[in-house]
Structure formats: C-alpha cells, structure tokens
Amino acid sequence: MDAVLRGWDLTGGTIHISGPGVRALDASVQDPTTHLLRIYIDLDAPPGPRMLTITVTSGAMTRMVSTTFSVSP
C-alpha cells in the first residue's frame, strides 16, 4: 500500500507502525511537506486499527506526528 504523508519537515524521521503484520518499507521526500510511504501488510495481519507515528529529532527538540489507519480483513 502506498500512502502520502503531509506535514512540515518530516525528513529523517523514524517511522513506527503499531500492531503485528504491518511495517514501513520505504519513505521518500517529495518536498518539505509531502512524503511518500510504502507500507507492507502481511496477508495474515490481524484486522483492526493501527497507529502510524513519525518521530523527528532536531538538535534538542523532538517532534512526534501520528495518524491512524485500519487493516481490513
């Protein structure tokens, strides 16, 4: 699955997706506010909501941005 993430200055962030059977494969920066993310969902991944979090650390400041999506059966 491909996703478009919009947010300011997410470059270099660490991506975490909650729950089993789902992982981020690749992220690419299109411009400072648009990032493309490829997500892999295992065929046997349990259905239900997932939290996708990006953590960006710059100097002494850490920012977290989160969104949710759902795995369907």
The pLDDT tens digits of the residues spanning 22-58 come to 999 888 888 878 888 999 999 999 999 999 998 888 8
**To which residue do tokens 């941005």 refer?**
65
Q: What is the CA radius of gyration of the chain?
A: 13
Q: What pLDDT does 22 receive?
A: 96
Flag whether pLDDT at 14 surpasses 80.
Answer: yes
| Residue 18 identity | S
Mean pLDDT computed over 5-20: 85
Indicate the CATH number of 2-71 among 1.10.10.10, 2.60.40.10, 3.30.530.20, 2.60.120.10: 2.60.40.10
CA distance 43 to 41: 6
Q: What pLDDT does 33 receive?
A: 81
